[in-house]
Amino acid sequence: MKNKYIPVNTPLLEGNELKYITEAIESGWVSSEGPFVNKFENIVAEKAGREHGIAVSSGTAAIDIAVAALKIEKGDEVIMPTHTIISCILQVIRSGATPVFVDSNQLTWNMDVNQIEDKITHRTKAIMAIHLYGLPAEMDSIMFLAKKYGLFVIEDASQMMGQIYNGKPCGSFGDISTTSFYPNKFITTGEGGMCLTDNNDLANRCKSLRNLCFQPGKRFIHDELGWNYRMTNLQAAIGLAQVKRLEYHVKRKRAIGKKYLKLLDAKTSLQLPLNRTAYAENIFWVFGVLLPDNISLSTDIVMTELSKKGIGARPFFYPLHRQPVFTNLGMFGDETYPVAEKLASKGFYIPSGLGLKDSEIETCATGLVDVINNSDLT
């Protein structure tokens, strides 16, 4: 009998999701005007230690709004890691600003903060700090440099809601933080995101930008171009149920990650994720691994073989400086970032969704060990 396929992510919807969404439908409030939106914004902001939460339609929308809210424009530069999803760079490019990349840290897989200061020029306006995979970026160094040079900080905490950095919640750093509520995140609304800030003016600007920039009191008159990036009451109803279980979701993810570490440690030559650093305990948003240089296996071969065993896998992010869309536009030339390039060519992650069963963790670990140690594939 063929094994049941284990996908990379299985969401967990075991709270009041159905109850709240039924309430939203029965009330007739299904658009962005419904009461669940404000409730969801308030509780997420509270969890993140922020004054304001502005719910939007996706994590990408949140980053678009953050960049626009800070008035990043042509002539400005934004320092950011090249190893991240393309969503992070879109509005920087569209605004006419210039992305300036830094490489990754070999051990944490986050941006190498030691490279940031050398990239700062008189045109630098912001640093975009993006937490990846389970460990936060080193925010102390980033915030120090931002203060020293008078720079904005956009903190993308999409993969890190519920994580604590040196006693402070991720999502609480910088001028604006952003998050995503995609199904593979610690809180899901299906699709959705949020901007988080302590600044009243920035909060109002984010609210305006998500709602087509209507003039106050003059609904169909606009002085600026915005977006229809509103979150619906239906999405927020799901999110409210999810955020109330955030601590449990974090606990479950950590349990999954630690079980994988125990099952895989010393059984292959894979580089496994760090369990902790000096500033944070791994939250294991996904369980990523890195192929060693001394074996000829490619990530494509490994993922194909895992798929044959009914185990899902997904590659790490492809570096932004090598994305064909930018190469075709003549951007980033011969720039090279060797650690990010290695992460892209050697890194992938295996199933670690909140709904993953312990027996499935064991199946995935056993399957991965078998594939890596199978000499016929090398």
Residue 99 has what pLDDT?
98
Question: And the tokens for 224?
Answer: 């600026």
Instruction: Give the residue among 315, 273, 32 at the shortest CA–CA distance from 24.
Output: 32
Query: By CB neighbour count within 10 A (0-12 exposed, 13-18 middle, 19+ buried), where does 118 fall?
Result: exposed
Q: How many CB atoms lie within 10 A of CB 34?
A: 21
Instruction: Give the residue among 204, 180, 199, 203 at the shortest CA–CA distance from 63.
Output: 180
Within 8 A by CB and 6+ apart from 66, the residues are: 154, 176, 178, 195, 206
Question: And the tokens for 29?
Answer: 């409030």
Measure the CA–CA gap between 259 and 358, rounded to whole angstroms.
Answer: 8
Average pLDDT value over all residues in the chain: 96
Residue 217 has what pLDDT?
81
Q: Which amino acid is at 15?
A: G
Residue 293 has what pLDDT?
87
Residue 377 has what pLDDT?
56
pTM (predicted TM-score) = 0.95
Residue 297 has what pLDDT?
85
Assess contact for 343 and 325: CB atoms under 8 A: no
Residue 1 has what pLDDT?
41
Taking each continuous run of H as one helix and of E as one strand, the counts in the chain are 13, 14
Q: What is the pLDDT of residues 144-160, one digit of tens each?
A: 999 999 999 999 999 99
Q: What integer is the mean pLDDT of 1-27?
A: 91
Measure the CA–CA gap between 180 and 88, rounded to whole angstroms.
Answer: 12
Q: What is the pLDDT of residues 254-275, one digit of tens each?
A: 999 999 999 999 888 999 999 9
Q: What is the pLDDT of residues 354-371, one digit of tens each?
A: 999 999 999 999 999 999
Token pair 């580089």: residue:
271
Strand pairing report for 314-315 and 218-222: unpaired
Main-chain dihedrals φ then ψ at residue 31, nearest 5 degrees: -95, -170
Measure the CA–CA gap between 246 and 169, rounded to whole angstroms.
Answer: 13
Q: Which domains does the chain have, with CATH numbers?
A: 17-243 (3.40.640.10), 247-377 (3.90.1150.10)
